[in-house]
Amino acid sequence: MSAAKQDLRQQMQAQRLSLSFEQATARARAASENLLTHPWLARAHVVALYAAVRAEMSTSFLAEALARDGKVLCYPRLLGQSRELAFHQAREPNLVPNRFFIPEPPASDPLVSPKDIDLFIVPGLAFDDDGLRLGWGRGYYDVTLRAAAKAHRVGLGFDFQRVGAVPADGDDEAMDLLATDRALYITGARPRADRSLT
């Protein structure tokens, strides 16, 4: 299983790196515009974003649009040796690189409980139509999403990151929706424990 995951990580990262800046920017804008049409975004009050690194799809367009709509935006921060992420209300220009060179909010920014987040926008290297997601293998999002089971989960990426099947194990948390530059894909992966945003 780990070999299959690593092979897929390498393949997807190579494809992401093959995009020019202009191509990646245009596709990120298209994916953002697609996602902004979904009612979950309109009804969410608190939205968790990520700051793109290593050729991940940018969330800057989403952040600008959601801020204009008055949404509370928060970004993840690593907590020492813990595998659960802390989320702080922040804006992307104020993020600072952590030990993995991932931009994150300073600890002084207002803390947001994962249970108060209505919708998580999650990065990944690959996704499938069952909602399974392949990350870098550290499990930070899997641990965090289990602690916020009622929130909607949106995997954001380029359409070529959709694959037939993501190698997964019992610890992998599924996405409810995939948003790409081509379309939105409802996965139906999880029974909704809380339908307040549907």
The pLDDT > 90 percentage for the chain reads 73
* CB-CB contact of 188 with 91 (8 Å): no
Token pair for 52? 């793109």
What pLDDT shows up at residue 192? 58
Token pair for 58? 């940018």
Cα separations (Å) of 134 from 20, 38, 108, 157?
Answer: 23, 23, 31, 12
Chain segment 50-78, per-residue pLDDT in tens = 999 989 999 999 999 999 999 999 999 99
Q: What is the residue-level pLDDT of the chain in tens, covering all 198 positions?
A: 588 889 999 999 999 999 999 999 999 999 999 999 999 999 999 999 999 998 999 999 999 999 999 999 999 999 877 788 999 999 888 899 988 888 999 999 999 999 999 999 999 999 999 999 999 877 899 999 998 988 999 999 999 999 999 987 777 899 999 999 999 999 988 765 444 344
The C-alpha atoms of residue 51 and residue 59 are separated, in whole angstroms, by 7
This prediction's pTM = 0.92
Secondary structure of residue 24 in the 3-state scheme: helix
